[in-house]
């Protein structure tokens, strides 16, 4: 773990790397507290698009220099993503339009597993990107679909999950962290229990976890894991990790002439080089951050440096979350409600993502008030999340979601505005 002193002196300076932090693209000042819907882009994302992406030959190849350059570039980006996730080889990473597209693709590829008599599990803590693909293809194929509920305090009910497993469970789709409540799922322990009790493949949606904590696919023991570039300070691109050696029953969409081995079997059509360049820029920024907090060991392998960067981010953001909870508790309004983990003692089980509500005020109205009174962007809506739609049966909630470029000053601005709204 990096020294707390380094972290707390470094982090407030990092926001200079995010041109959108202070103002929007027209130069208008505003405070963006909606990183859960898509983070701000780091400067090196656009930098690498210009310096490397724009000059790439569209087609990779082995004979001419420009085609070779594209092939090597794509391989480098796969390697960076593999290092970010702790995967063994770049071939374990495939590129997609988005996480949702990657998971629909995967569900289609696994369709032969979903036979009548078999079952699969989806959870109420998930985003629908990790529910609808399984329910849609599963229903076509006649597999039984089981839903895992949340506890009364809105944690994933792991006893309910484990009790629904049996020898006919072919797949469990779980999230790494909720994009509404911020709740983190203890993946390593849970996946190990799932694997002891059933032959199920485990698919993890790590979209909300990826910007907030280190991920290690081999430690987790999952079979597939997806996340998105635009949540980790880069552009829109979906990334899918596939554990090597899973071949049985996998038939992806395929153009007749496409290569059959991973990662190429997962990818349809030409790769989006500009997106990959932006992703490279974002990941290189995280490496820089990791080196900055790795005093004396900045030449360590990329995997280790990514891990340090993400540990430092986690540590810094836990402090931000504590500050959020402290200020929240000071507002003595019976109308204001926070959903999810609110105890400082359990701060390690959440990301800085907060779902809240003011009784009697429509979430869309509260969002509008924050904009009109404070030029602050928060979220409203169902966030494509089953916790809102299925478990709470609400049509909308407000959400404030932070990233490591935010600080206590962002929260002071938010809470001053919130207090003003509640008073008036």
Binding site residues, ligand PLP, CB under 6 A: 98-100, 127, 129, 175, 179, 205, 207-208, 228, 238
Indicate the Cα dihedral angle 359, 360, 361, 363, nearest 10°: 60
Any idea what DSSP says for residue 113? G
Q: How far is the CB of 402 from ligand PLP (least distance, A)?
A: 14
Q: How far is the CB of 248 from ligand PLP (least distance, A)?
A: 27
DSSP 3-state percent helix, strand, coil across the chain (nearest 5): 45, 15, 40
Nearer to ligand PLP, 100 or 273 (CB): 100
Indicate the Cα dihedral angle 112, 114, 115, 118, nearest 10°: 140
Any idea what DSSP says for residue 388? I
Nearer to ligand PLP, 98 or 123 (CB): 98
- For the record, the structure tokens of 241 come out as 């990790």
Q: How far is the CB of 367 from ligand PLP (least distance, A)?
A: 17
In the numeric block, the tokens 């979430």 are attached to: 363
Q: How far is the CB of 35 from ligand PLP (least distance, A)?
A: 11
Q: How far is the CB of 327 from ligand PLP (least distance, A)?
A: 25
Contact 253, 105 (CB under 8 A): yes
Q: How far is the CB of 129 from ligand PLP (least distance, A)?
A: 4
In the numeric block, the tokens 């340090």 are attached to: 308
The C-alpha atoms of residue 294 and residue 288 are separated, in whole angstroms, by 10
Nearer to ligand PLP, 234 or 290 (CB): 234
Nearer to ligand PLP, 70 or 105 (CB): 105
Nearer to ligand PLP, 154 or 418 (CB): 154
Please list, residue by residue across 282-293, b when 16 or more beta carbons sit within 10 angstroms of its beta carbon and e when fewer do: bbbbbbbbbbbb
Q: How far is the CB of 174 from ligand PLP (least distance, A)?
A: 11
The partner residues of 241 in beta bridges, in order of sequence, read: 93, 225
The partner residues of 336 in beta bridges, in order of sequence, read: 358
Nearer to ligand PLP, 207 or 313 (CB): 207
Nearer to ligand PLP, 35 or 294 (CB): 35
Give just the sign of the alpha carbon dihedral 411, 414, 417, 423. negative
The partner residues of 148 in beta bridges, in order of sequence, read: 123
Q: How far is the CB of 207 from ligand PLP (least distance, A)?
A: 4
- For the record, the structure tokens of 180 come out as 């509404």
Contact 81, 96 (CB under 8 A): no
Nearer to ligand PLP, 215 or 418 (CB): 215
Q: How far is the CB of 185 from ligand PLP (least distance, A)?
A: 11
Nearer to ligand PLP, 74 or 385 (CB): 385
Residues in contact with 333: Cβ distance below 8 Å, sequence separation at least 6, in sequence order? 358, 422
The C-alpha atoms of residue 175 and residue 366 are separated, in whole angstroms, by 28
């Amino acid at each position: 773990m990096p020294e707390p002193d380094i972290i707390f002196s470094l982090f407030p300076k990092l926001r200079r790397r995010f041109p959108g932090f202070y103002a929007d693209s027209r130069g208008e000042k505003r405070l963006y507290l909606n990183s859960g819907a898509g983070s701000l882009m780091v400067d090196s994302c656009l930098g690498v698009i210009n310096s490397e992406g724009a000059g790439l030959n569209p087609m990779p190849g082995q004979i001419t220099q420009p085609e070779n350059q594209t092939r090597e570039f794509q391989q480098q980006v796969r390697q960076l993503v593999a290092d970010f996730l702790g995967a063994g080889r770049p071939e374990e990473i495939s590129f997609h339009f988005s996480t949702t597209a990657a998971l629909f693709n995967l569900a289609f590829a696994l369709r032969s597993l979903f036979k009548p008599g078999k079952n699969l599990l989806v959870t109420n803590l998930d985003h629908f990107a990790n529910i609808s693909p399984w329910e849609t293809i599963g229903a076509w194929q006649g597999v039984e679909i089981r839903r895992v509920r949340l506890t009364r305090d809105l944690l994933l009910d792991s006893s309910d999950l484990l009790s629904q497993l049996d020898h006919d469970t072919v797949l469990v789709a779980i999230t790494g962290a909720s994009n509404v409540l911020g709740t983190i799922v203890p993946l390593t322990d849970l996946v190990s229990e799932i694997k002891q009790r059933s032959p199920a493949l485990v698919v993890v949606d790590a979209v909300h976890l990826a910007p907030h904590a280190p991920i290690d696919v081999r430690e987790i023991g999952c079979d597939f894991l997806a996340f998105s570039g635009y949540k980790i300070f880069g552009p829109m691109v979906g990334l899918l990790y596939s554990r090597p050696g899973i071949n049985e029953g996998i038939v992806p969409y395929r153009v007749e002439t496409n290569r059959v081995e991973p990662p190429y079997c997962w990818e349809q059509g030409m790769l989006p080089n500009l997106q990959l360049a932006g992703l490279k820029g974002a990941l290189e920024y995280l490496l820089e951050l990791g080196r900055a907090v790795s005093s004396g060991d900045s030449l360590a392998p990329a995997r280790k440096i990514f891990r340090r960067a993400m540990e430092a981010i986690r540590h810094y953001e836990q402090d931000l979350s504590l500050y959020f909870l402290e200020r929240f508790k000071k507002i003595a309004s019976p109308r204001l409600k926070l959903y999810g983990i609110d105890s400082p003692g359990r701060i390690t089980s959440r990301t800085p993502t907060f779902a809240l509500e003011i009784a009697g005020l429509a979430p869309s109205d509260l969002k509008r008030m924050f904009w009109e009174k404070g030029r602050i962007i928060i979220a409203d809506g169902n966030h494509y999340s089953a916790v809102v739609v299925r478990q709470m049966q609400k049509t909308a909630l407000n959400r404030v979601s932070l990233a490591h470029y935010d600080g206590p000053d962002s929260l002071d601005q938010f809470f001053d505005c919130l207090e003003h709204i509640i008073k008036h």
